[in-house]
Every structure is written in structure tokens, then in C-alpha cells.
Amino acid sequence: MDAAAVDLDRPLRLYPLTFLEEGDEVTVGRADIDSYGLFPADGAALLRRLETGETPNDAARWYNTQYGETVDMVEFLEVLEAFELLVPDGEEVVEAGAVRWQRLGRALFSPVAWVLYGLLFIAGIVAMFREPAVVPTYHNIFFTSSSLVALALGNVLGQAPWILLHESYHALAGRRLGLNSSLSIGRRFYYVVFLTKLDGLVAVPRRKRYLPMLAGMLVDVLVVTGLTLAAVPLVSSDGFAGFMGRFLLAMAFGTLLRFAWQFYFFLRTDLYYLATTVLGCNDLQTVAKGMLQNRLYGLIGRRDKIVDAETWTPRDREVARWYVWLMVTGYAVLTGLLITAVVPAAIRITEMAVRKLFSDISPLNVLDVTVFLILNFGELILAGILAVRGYRRRTPATAS
Amino acid sequence: MKKIVVRKAGTVRLTSAAT
């Protein structure tokens, strides 16, 4: 559909839209494809006129009467088209069904569930006070001394079910509100992360966004206390029971590390979204990065590269002025960790692996060393691959 | 002619570190 070629004396067809009024702006969009725009109040009012079946010309006349200005209707229709709000000719609107798992989402955050969560948390804390052997400590990572590969394998794979549970809780808290979600793998600096896409949250009132954002960390706390409780009767045993007790505590400590990782808010973790919601921001990280890039381009005289600050919301600009320094400091600290801890560790691990490899060239030993290297470097290498792919996507080769 | 400026809404990606 070409907005310029639209007959302005015929009503337009629009997809079912959601409107959320917040201060001077109205978030309008399609929940079925998660396409949302921040409209000024007059723009949202104009869109509502079109939605009721008024022709664009009639709506423009109404705008002129209401606001005393002539609106650029063709340009407005181009905006609506860019957000995919207009139904193209010959296409039918399919009614979106209810999202799946909504009932489970409601059950998991019902009053009964909250009571159970509270009891589990209290029981776990009491167990830690009564049984010092189950208190989370980094020693718990070393649940076996039989093999380094088994140790690394247990610590890496032992997190998989709890990571999926963390993401499922985000998704189900979203489903409870009727929002779509999807799971993917992504990267935050040099960390590989699992991501739950919940763009529909921008269309619900802010106070309803907190639970879906915090649901993952809530379940992390419950996993730590639950695993600790389960380990209590096992840790003092010998043999397999004792091993299982130690493994449960290793998984609990791993979960605690992932919980702590959420405080790296500048990597756009769950706590970043919580903070930006409280602060009333829209897309703070993008604006902070844009501001930094504008400053750098200004310094090197590349004025053509500078992004127009008007494309950012006033609140984002206001907060980004001080947030940008927090973000830069955060990345600097993580870069420092990379240079002083991750790289030296990687060198030492490689040295150990090479020495072990040449001490015994049997197939079993080669396999042992290979698995060990994959477990230690797999995530870093995957983060590197994702970074290169992301960079290539952002800078497509220009045709010569 | 009055232009109506519409900004793109931010995205929400809730995360967990892979290990």
C-alpha cells in the first residue's frame, strides 16, 4: 500500500489496536505482532477518528477544528504504514485467539502460590541457619573431585533446567496478562544469555510490568532455597546420596551467581528494565549509546553521522545524561575483568589442557581434553560468533 | 502543515546468563 496513493475520501481499515495513555504520550500498537509507537496525544486522537471509520479528509477537518492547525495527513498515513497498523487492500484481519498458558500463568501468581513461595523461602532460610553445611558458598561448586570434566559439566549443564525455569516465569507472568512471548539466545557483552521477548509489556500500565520483569529473579530465589532444602537430608550421607546433596548445593550456588549477574544492569538485565520502568524511560540504553556516539562523532568532525536527538523521548534524554556515565563505567569494569581475570584464566586453562593432551594421546584422553575445552570456552566463542553476526547485520556491505 | 512525530516504543528482552 502506498500512503500517497490512498483515496483520502474513503475510510481506512486498521488492525485491532491497543491504546495506553501515559502523561503526554499514548502508546499505540498491534499486540499480535508487537509493533508499538509513542504517539503525541493529538496524533492518538486523530488515529481514533480513523479507527471509528472516518475518512482521512474528514479526520483532517476535525483536527483543524480541534487544534487550529492543518495536519499533514499523507505523512501521518505513512507513519501508520511504517508501524504496520493499516490493513493492506485484499487482506483480511484474522481475529487473534487468546494466548496459551494464560491459566497456568494466573495460577503461578495467585494468592495461594504466593503463600507457598513465602513458606518455601522461609523454610530454606531456616534450614541455612540450622545446618551450616548447606549455606551457599563458592566451595559448593566443587561437588566432585573425581574429574575436572565432570565438575565443569555438572556446573554448566546443572544450570540448564533452572535457566529455562527463569525464562518460563518471565513468559508465564506475561501470559497471565495476555501477552505473547518468545525465547531466544543472545549476547550481552561477552556473556551468552537466554532471552524472553516481551515487547507487549510497553502496552500495559507500568505498575503491571514489574511482576513479569522480576518473575525470573523471584524463581531464582525459590530455586536456591528449594535446592538447599532438598540437600539438607543428603549432605551428611556417604556414597551417592552425599554426592547428590553436594550437586544440589552446586546448582544452588550457580543459580545465586546468575542472580548476582542481574545486577550488571548496564548489560540490559532484568534489573535494568525494572529501573527504566520506574524512571519512566522508553529506550534508555539506545539513547545513552546514541548520545555517546554523537559526542564522539562531534569530536572527530563527522557531523553527518550524528543522530537527531529529537527521535528520543525527552525523559530518555534527561536520564541518559547521567546514565551514560554509569554505563561507560560498567563496561570499563567488565573489560578490566576480561583482561585481568578471564584472559589469564583462559591462557592457564589452555596450558593445562595442552599439557594433559601430550601426556597421553589415547582417544579417551583426547575426548576428555576436548570436552573440557568446549565447556570452558564454548560460551566465550559463541558470544564472539554472535557479536560478529550482529555487527555484520548492522553494517550490510554497500553495493559498489 | 503540522507533522505528527511518532517515536518507536522500546523493546523488552528479559534475560538470564547462559551459565
Cβ–Cβ of A202/B10 closer than 8 Å?
Answer: yes
CA A5 to each of CA A1, A15, A53, A84: distance values in angstroms, whole numbers, following the listed order = 8, 20, 19, 17
Identify the CA nearest to A122 among candidates A215, A220, A229.
A229
The answer to whether the Cβ–Cβ distance between B13 and A76 falls below 8 Å is no
Q: How far is B5 from chain A (nearest CA, A)?
A: 7
CA distance B15 to chain A (A): 5
Looking at residue A38, what is its pLDDT?
A: 93
- Predicted confidence (pLDDT) at residue B6 exceeds the cutoff of 90: yes
Touching B: A residues 174-233, CB under 8 Å: 185-186, 188, 191-199, 201-203, 212-213, 216
Q: Is A320 on the interface with B (CB under 8 A)?
A: no
Cβ distance B14 to A311 less than 8 Å, yes or no, reads no
Looking at the partner chain, which of B2, B7, B17 has a beta carbon nearest the beta carbon of A70?
B2
Per-residue pLDDT of chain A (400 residues; tens, 9 = 90+): 566 677 889 799 899 999 998 888 899 999 999 999 999 999 999 999 999 999 999 999 899 998 998 999 998 999 998 999 999 878 778 767 888 789 899 999 999 999 999 999 999 999 999 889 999 988 898 898 878 789 888 988 899 999 999 999 999 999 999 998 999 989 899 899 999 989 999 999 988 999 999 999 999 999 999 999 999 999 889 899 999 999 999 999 999 999 999 999 999 899 999 999 999 999 999 999 899 989 789 988 877 888 889 889 999 989 998 999 899 999 999 899 888 888 898 887 888 888 788 888 789 888 888 888 888 889 889 899 999 989 787 776 654 4
**Tens digits of residue pLDDT in B7-16:** 889 999 999 9
Q: Are A50 and A59 in contact (CB under 8 A)?
A: yes
Segments making up each domain of chain A, as ranges? 3-82, 102-279
